[in-house]
Structure 1
Amino acid sequence: MINVKDLVHRYTVWESETEKSKKTVLDGVSLDVPSGQFVAILGPNGSGKSTLAKHLNVLLLPDEGVVWIDGKDTADQKVLWDIRSTVGMVFQNPDNQIVGTSVEEDVAFGPENKNLSSETIQEKVADSLSAVGLLHKRKSSPSRLSGGQKQRVAIAGVLAGNPGCIVLDEPTAMLDPRSRKEVLDVIKKLNKEHGITIILITHHTDEVVDADTIVLMDKGHIIRKGTPKEVFGNLDLLRQVKMDVPQVTELAYRLNRQGIPMELPVLTEEQFVCELTKAYENIQSQEVSGL
């Protein structure tokens, strides 16, 4: 669905009032994302992950290289509308995306701009709000919602446009743990049940243990790409780029170093309990055998 080839992007940096220079933020990035995948892009601040996200919705254009969305070149102005209809964007601050005075008015904004019939718009609004669990809030003012609910309204607004892919740029960065979970549950549901391609950009490693693929970026380069087990199996690399490690993964590594055997990496609490139970049963079995 998404093909990025040798992407280079440079920003203009003003050294003084009269002098400027170019800073390379993406340096030869190549990435393929098949339809229906859940891809997470990790990286520290300044790694280029948000800049990459903006290229997928044609908010930015390549200085070098090419980006294809469903076979369409983002540099081709004639297909700009098609690409933006295919790839929806959700940003860090939902207040920057909410434009309606009520939840349903906000979600209806996109379909209304496509000149759809009133019945079709109402159907899309209801379906989108149901998908994010907020149909009961359709008459509410967005200003009266929690941060997590606002972010789900923003997702519903994108969803109403029937995108094949949704790119979420640190959508949980401003949320408390409960709201983070609510938003992540919606994201996973859209991927698993609706078949929407998800590209989640985050610096919270614990959010991506269920992803199909993790892309690790640093200093404008992709330095690792693989399954969560493959990426989190290399703690030295994660620490090298100053990325946090999921707490349960870190705990399992520490216990393993203390002589409690576990199959590493451990990514979830359920897996941790399973590995700890097996380790305890093995120890009990050895003690019985030694009697």
Structure 2
Amino acid sequence: MTDLSRLSPVFSPGEVWLVGAGPGDPGLLTVHALNALAQADAVVHDALIGEGVLSLARDGAVLEYAGKRGGRPSAQQDAICERLIALARAGKRVLRLKGGDPFVFGRGGEEALALARAGIRFRIVPGVSSGLAALAQHGVPATTRDTNHAVILATGHCAADGESVDWEALARAGAPIVLYMAVANLGGIAEALIRGGLAPTTPTLVVHGATTARETLLEAPLAQLPSLADGGAIASPAIVAVGAIAAFRQAIAEHVQAFRQAVGS
């Protein structure tokens, strides 16, 4: 068996690695992420990091929860940054483990800047972005030559000052939209997208718990999202795709079903 540790750099004491853990399935960890788990003294992890991933940490590693969940008591970002700095100054190998990719709505940039200002050595380890993985898991491409040459990634989580994305402007852009952290505000977002010009019948795909055992899938026209969200049919965390690509799963499913019937499987 290949020794994968030789493919990764040495994780030195006093360093912080900002690592993307992917969408949830431990099999989608990168080699660098896996080796970071095997070497870290302290693992500071987000709410969406599952037991399957955390179980890969080395024996003796300290696991520290630093999760952020909308509407619930959560760790403050400044406190998280201070903790990373303190652990590194204590000579620990510090693994900051984030769901998806640390630089895609993961506040990895804020933490990298805080570490740089404090003079702490750090490394960025990209991860599989949850938004793209949730779609790919169900045969939905983020782009195709026949439907779109651009895709918009947007967070549905309002900023602390109450400001949000200009959804009507994004609707007019004409590109499919992939929403992260949008469940709490999904009704208002859908209504704004329709005001911006998207047809009420625009296809959407909602993937809850992507790549995990709790994964669920929902397909509906855009106009139905407010009532589905208000009725509790859409659970968090979820990725929501809006636009032509959202209909791609059904097209593939039809071909797969026809193939299985043809070969008698």
- Tell me the TM-score normalised to structure 2 length: 0.22
Structure with the higher fraction of residues in strand conformation: 1
**RCO comparison, higher one (Cα < 8 Å, 6+):** 1
Larger radius of gyration: 1
Structure with the higher fraction of residues in helix conformation: 1
